[in-house]
Structure 1
Amino acid sequence: MAFLVSGTLRMAAQMADAQDSLGRKGKYNVQGPRVALTLSSPEVSISTVAALEGVFQTLGFESCQRREALVQDFLEELTGFREQLDAHGAPLGCVLVALVAPRGQLRRPQKLVRELSDCEALRGCPKVFLLLSSAPGAAPTTGAFLTGLGELCGRRPHWSLLQLLTEVFCRTAGESSGATYCPVLRSSLRGALCLGHVEPWETEPEPSPGAQYDLSRDRAALLLAVIQDRPGAQHDVEALGGLCQTLGFKTTVKTDPTAQAFQEELAQFQGQLDTLRSPMSCALVALMAHGGPQGQLLGADGKEVQPEALVQELSRCRALQGRPKIFLLQACRGGHRDAGVGPTALPWYRRWLRAPPATPSHADVLQIYADAQGSSPRGSTTGSCDQADLLMVYAAAEGCVAYRDEKGSDFIQTLVKVLRAAPGGDLLELLTEVNRQVCELDVLGPDCAERHKSCLEIRSSLRRRLCLQA
């Protein structure tokens, strides 16, 4: 009888593990079926669609569907695709969806992304979205982004997708009127995602040193934190300030800034850097405050400041042209509390089966915004930043609460722990590990007895690997 019980539990544990594609060493296991979909508007050239299908095949996607529809019908098409995947029954390894439309027509891409993110068959699995803009009447040629993506997928199958995209961004970015335009990615992945035909536990070879940013010169950090009425915020300031100094950043700390002071301190920070005789290696800005319902930062005076305006302010810094600019945003981006998704078994049953914990509903998504024909000559691609070499890390998904208690915030405290343990690692990969650890936490809000989940959002237009310690 004991043997039967043990065998049953062991089999059930294996089934439970299969529901979570994240490997035990921080890598996704994508050995299951892979499904790809290209959803394009009628104006998109045939060559662009053909190039996408070539990329899908290179990445080993067995099922590659193609649908043509008006942009206003994209949501309906994705709903049908989700229902098709849910009817499949068995868990999938990965899904890749390309949404291609004339520039400016994908006005609400997050609604499209969320439609497929809610798919039951993809729970815990990586979901990759290519959101490509296409110029109306553009020549039927494949742009630098798709060309580079297809080439590198074939030549570097052992690279993680974030590592590969960073190299593609380097090849794709072009300069126009003094500004560098670059594709951008938004990630809530919890582990390394490698889509090549390699085992998920194999070690990835390191790229050459030339593929990294040169951080041999000075680096500077600015920490702006509202600590009044934010218990634990002082611990975040101390932990992050100590880490920055350990990593060689000349660090300036300002506490309890008003909304206007947020802008003034950043403008002063930029001005000081521009007065230096030689370019900087890197800059880091941490913005820590309460957040408004639409993602605004609230100064100590309760007034609002838009974090994107602060990012654009530093992007104009001449001393940082072509240099990495890191922004850490510890603030709520809305009032939604995510209960997460996961097994519905009773707690004691889950404990015996070693079933994976609930996962934040916003996790395991990678979005790539790019131009199908090349660099955008005017403005920015929908959802992207105008400048290259930016890394922004939000403590919460869009619309969600960022958690903090008397010991500090989940994001900052986990970030400091991970970077102190491996300061020489690729920062994008380390941030993915930070997200994995944050996603595993069960948090209790001050006004709620139920446990909730949290998830980071990482936005990057970096064009090289960024390692903060040689």
Structure 2
Amino acid sequence: MAFLVAGTLQVASKMADARQSLERKGKYGLQGPRVALTLCSPEVSASTVAVLEGVFRTLGFESCQRREASVQGFLGELAGFQEQLDALGGPMGCALVALVAPRGQLRQPQQLVQELSHCRALWGCPKVFLLLSSAPGAASEPGAFLTVLSELCGRFPHWSLLQLLTEVFYRTAKESEATCCPVLRSSLRGALCLGDVEPWEPQLEPSPSTQYDLSGTRAALLLSVVHDRPGAQHDVEALGGLCRALSFKTTLRTDPTAQAFQEEMAQFRECLDARRAPVSCALVALMAHGGPQGQLLGADGQEVQPEALVQELSHCRALWGCPKIFLLQACRGGQRDAGVGPTALPWFRCWLRASPTTPSHADVLQIYADAQGSSSAGPAPGSPDQADVLMVYAAAEGCVAYRDEEKGSDFIQTLVEVLRADPGAELLELLTEVNRRVCELEVLGPDCQERVKACLEIRSSLRRQLCLQA
């Protein structure tokens, strides 16, 4: 019994330290060991694995394991890795897992990602997944993504990982002549800096080429179903005011049907293409009820796929090379997340000074990229027209998004609060702060008797830093 109590207190103390670090500095503390694992299929070249292991060492990972297995065996290998970490008896600082397989074989990566989220030693700790696809018969030398990643990790260890990846995406696009488009998915709650230097210490200022030029017209489209969504009007008012404050020419449509969602997006695209003056940025907010598979429901109850709306704007000629921001306030399923963490008695919760649980989908960073170029072997993880897209979901995949009838949704209201406080900061950093605040909340929905947690998902193929106010 004493052993169980001691173990629980140890994990709880680690989570309290991590939470206080995130509150105080907005970054992960990384006090514990860093562990790395490479899972690769037999077809993966030795040179690719060697570059990966060099990246791990540069980033300060003390333990670097490598296991070769078929893609079907990846889940079992990850389960064994999880058990190994839990058996160490102490909290970790960070875990990095590289999954390398021929293109198209990693069909359900979320199942692999979720496996490590169950690891008790990693509760509240960042978990980074590098999902690399390689082309059958590709050259033995690693492609642009791994080459640039290796170089920048060595040169700029003081940069936060999201900042580093944005620069990698930019340089990869130049090296590969836009034939591939890396994508990241983040639910991080703070800055993740794997070097030994604070990311806000004096550093090289980014060159103008690494920032989006927002000197042209900015356009925003807000599509919101307010009927039978109490509190939605508060989101419309708050987001509309923010867009105007950030100099977006804003179009608002309320209670669109499923067909109207598509028609409004097509009209928005046509208007942008018809403009003579340059367009530098577009923001689209989609606010509605959500279907069980992440569909949006129009005011008529019919479904529309958000991916189709994103694709519509990606074809806009006026926005080629420009950032396209999508905010999705909608449920993505019916799951309610109770969070992960040690069971807490009332006195225990007071001692931690906060809820001891963390959303089970939080603290994960996934990077999808090509390991060996993509010249002639089929589509890369993201096609060129998916570049420069930033999507922010109010809920993790499969989960409920919450909205207060009197105040509006947690996501939109927190987003507006954070951006108004510091509109000149880099947008990915601001969104990470939004997620931290949302993850701290405990939600008691109208049809739920227990308090639950929420977590954002940020997807980015941005290739430059994005600051909405100079």
Partner of 1:443: 443
CA–CA distance in structure 2, aligned partners of residues 143 and 21 of structure 1 = 40
The 1:146–1:267 alpha-carbon spacing in structure 2 relative to 1, beyond 3 Å, is same
Matching residue of 1:410:
410
| Structure 2: tracts of 5 or more residues without a match | 1-8
Equivalent position amino acid for 2:226 in 1: I
Q: Does 1:85 align with 2:85?
A: yes
What displacement does 1:154 show?
0.7
Q: 1:165 matched to which residue of 2?
A: 165
User: 1:28–1:200: 8 Å Cα contact kept in structure 2?
Assistant: no
Alpha-carbon contact 1:138-1:373 (below 8 Å) kept: yes
Structure 2: which amino acid aligns with 1:463?
R
Deviates more, 1:196-205 or 1:99-108: 196-205
- 1:22/1:124 contact within 8 Å kept: no
- Structure 1 residues 72 and 121: CA distance shift in structure 2, 3 A: same
Paired position in structure 1 for 2:459: 459
In 2, the alpha carbon distance for the partners of 1:378 and 1:322 equals 24
In 1, the alpha carbon distance for the partners of 2:178 and 2:148 equals 21
CA distance in 2, matches of 1:355, 1:265: 43
Q: Structure 1 pair 446/257, CA: closer, same or farther in 2 (3 Å)? A: same
CA displacement at 1:353 relative to structure 2: 4.2
2:468 aligns with 468
What is the TM-score when the length of structure 2 is the normalising length? Answer: 0.94
Distance 2:326 2:376 in 1: 26
In the alignment, what sits opposite 1:260? 259
Kindly indicate whether the alpha-carbon contact (under 8 Å) linking 1:360 and 1:455 is maintained by their aligned counterparts in 2: yes
Amino acid at match of 1:171: R
Aligned pair in 2 of structure 1 residues 200, 171: CA closer, same or farther (>3 Å)? Answer: closer
Q: What pairs with 1:124-163 in structure 2 (closer than 5 Å)?
A: 124-163=124-163
**Structure 1: unaligned runs, 5 residues or longer:** 1-9
Post-superposition CA distance 1:242-292 (Å, at most 9, x none): 000000000000000000000000000000000112331100000000000
Encode CA deviations 1:109-143: one digit per residue, 9 max, x unaligned. 10011111111110000000000000011111011
Kindly state the Cα deviation for residue 376 of structure 1 after the two structures are TM-superposed: 6.1
Looking at structure 1, the residues matched to 105 and 454 of structure 2 have their Cα atoms a distance apart, in angstroms, of 31
CA distance change for structure 1 residues 385 and 327 in 2, over 3 Å: closer, same or farther? farther
Contact 1:343/1:358 (<8 A) preserved: yes
1:48 aligns with 2:44: no
Equivalent position SS for 1:82: helix
Match of 1:422 in 2: 422
Say if 1:314 and 1:180 are closer, same or farther in 2 by CA, change over 3 A. farther
| Conservation of the 8 A alpha-carbon contact between 1:132 and 1:369 | yes
Give the 3 Å change call, closer, same or farther, for CA 392–11 of structure 1 in structure 2. closer
The secondary structure found in structure 2 opposite 1:37 is strand
User: Aligned partners of 1:11 and 1:369: how far apart in 2?
Assistant: 34
Identity of aligned residues (%): 80
Matches within 5 A, 1:105-120: 105-120=105-120
Q: CA deviation at 1:13?
A: 8.6
What residue number does 2:361 align with? 362
Provide the residue aligned with 2:188 in structure 1: 189
Q: Write out aligned runs for 1:32-43 (5 A).
A: 32-43=32-43
For residues 10-64 of structure 1, the C-alpha deviation after alignment (integer angstroms, 9 at most, x for no partner) is 9999655346585321100113210000100000000000000010000010111
Question: Within 2, Cα distance between the matches of 1:203 and 1:329?
Answer: 36
Counterpart CA distance in 2 for 1:316 and 1:175 is 23
The 8 Å contact of residues 29 and 200 in structure 1, kept in 2 or not, is answered as no
User: 3-state SS of the aligned residue for 2:386?
Assistant: coil
How far apart in 1 are the matches of 2:119 and 2:13? Answer: 22
TM-score, reference length from structure 1:
0.94
Higher alpha-carbon deviation: 381-390 or 239-248: 381-390
> Contact 2:223–2:256 (CA<8 Å) still a contact in 1?
yes
Q: Which residue of structure 1 aligns with residue 5 of structure 2? A: none
1:7 corresponds in structure 2 to none
Q: CA offsets, 1:166-221, max 9 Å, x none?
A: 00001112699x97631000000000000012247857664233321000111100
Do 2:180 and 2:373's aligned partners in 1 also have CA atoms closer than 8 Å?
Answer: no
Q: Give the aligned partner of residue 67 of structure 2.
A: 67
Residue 343 of structure 1 and its aligned partner are, at CA, apart by: 2.9
* Residue 25 (1) aligns with residue 25 (2): yes
What displacement does 1:396 show? Answer: 0.2
Q: 1:93, CA displacement in angstroms?
A: 0.6
Deviation at 1:350, TM superposition (A): 2.1
Once the two structures are overlaid, the 10-residue window that deviates more, 93-102 or 340-349, is: 340-349
